[in-house]
Amino acid sequence: MTEAAPQDRNAGTIQVRLAHEGDLGDLESMIDDFVKGHPAEHHSRPSEAMRAAYFGRDPVAELVVAERQHRVVGMAQWIRIHDMFWGMFGGRADWLYVRPEARGLGVSAALLAKVCERIREAGGAFLYGQGNAQTGPFYERAAIAGPEYRDFHLGGEAFQQIADLSGLPLRQIVQRLPQPELNHAPAGTRDDSAR
C-alpha cells in the first residue's frame, strides 16, 4: 500500500510505505550512516542477511520506509508483541532513523503513524519503543515515558489517533499528535469512512 503526502515546499513529496527488496541499497546506506560511532560501525552487514531478515520466507519484522524523490530517507521496524499484564497485542518499534537532510520535516511522525496503522491492522492496540536523549522529546509529544526515560508506550486513544494520521501530509501529522494523557483514555471506536 502506497500513500503519498501532498507537496510541501520544504519536504517535497514524501511517500510512507512498506519496504520492499528493491530498497536494500538505500536501507544499507542509511544503516551505514546510522551506525556511525557505534561499536558495530566497522562490522560486516551482509546484504543477504538483511534480505532474509525482512524479505525472506520467514521475516523477523516489517520495515516501513519514507521515500523522497525516489530515495529512501527514513525507516522504522516493528514486530508484533503481546503484553501479558494488559492481555493485548501491540507492536514494538525499533530502528527509527531519518537521514539528516530529511530531519525536521515530520518524517519520524509519519513513519510512526504508519507503524501504528500496521499494528492496528494486525490486531494490536499499543506501541512500545525506546528512545534516548535525542529522540525522547519527540516521543514524549504523544507517548508516555517509563521511569528509565528510555521506554515509551503509546496506547489507548493516543495510539488510535496516531494510527488515524497515517497517510496525511507531514505537517498535519505533527500538528495533530495527541496529548500524552490520551494514553490512559479508552480507545474509541473507529469508522473507516470518517477518515
Which residues in 14-29 are b (16+ Cβ under 10 Å) and which e? bbbbebeeebbebbee
126 close to 159: Cβ distance less than 8 angstroms: yes
Q: What is the pLDDT of residues 106-118, one digit of tens each?
A: 999 999 999 999 9
4 φ, ψ to 5°?
A: -110, 140
Task: Look at residue 125 in the predicted model and tell me its pLDDT.
Answer: 94
158 close to 178: Cβ distance less than 8 angstroms: yes
pLDDT, mean of residues 144-157: 72
Burial of residue 189, with CB atoms counted within 10 A of its CB: 0-12 exposed, 13-18 middle, 19 or more buried: exposed
Task: Look at residue 134 in the predicted model and tell me its pLDDT.
Answer: 62
| Domains located in the chain, CATH noted | 2-194 (3.40.630.30)
Cell numbers for 17: 510505505
Burial of residue 162, with CB atoms counted within 10 A of its CB: 0-12 exposed, 13-18 middle, 19 or more buried: buried
Whole-angstrom CA distances from 96 to 31, 33, 68, 111 are 11, 13, 16, 8
Task: Look at residue 138 in the predicted model and tell me its pLDDT.
Answer: 65
Assign 135 a pLDDT band (cuts: 50, 70, 90). Answer: low
Assign 133 a pLDDT band (cuts: 50, 70, 90). Answer: low
pLDDT, mean of residues 164-187: 92
User: pTM of the entire structure?
Assistant: 0.77
Q: What is the pLDDT of residues 88-111, one digit of tens each?
A: 999 999 899 999 999 999 999 999
Sequence-distant (6+) residues with CB within 8 A of 45 are 28, 31
Residue 9 has pLDDT above 60, yes or no: no
Residue 40 has pLDDT above 70, yes or no: yes
Residue 61 has pLDDT above 80, yes or no: yes
Q: How high is the mean pLDDT of the chain?
A: 86
3-state helix, strand, coil in the chain (%, to 5): 35, 25, 40
Residue 51 has pLDDT above 90, yes or no: yes
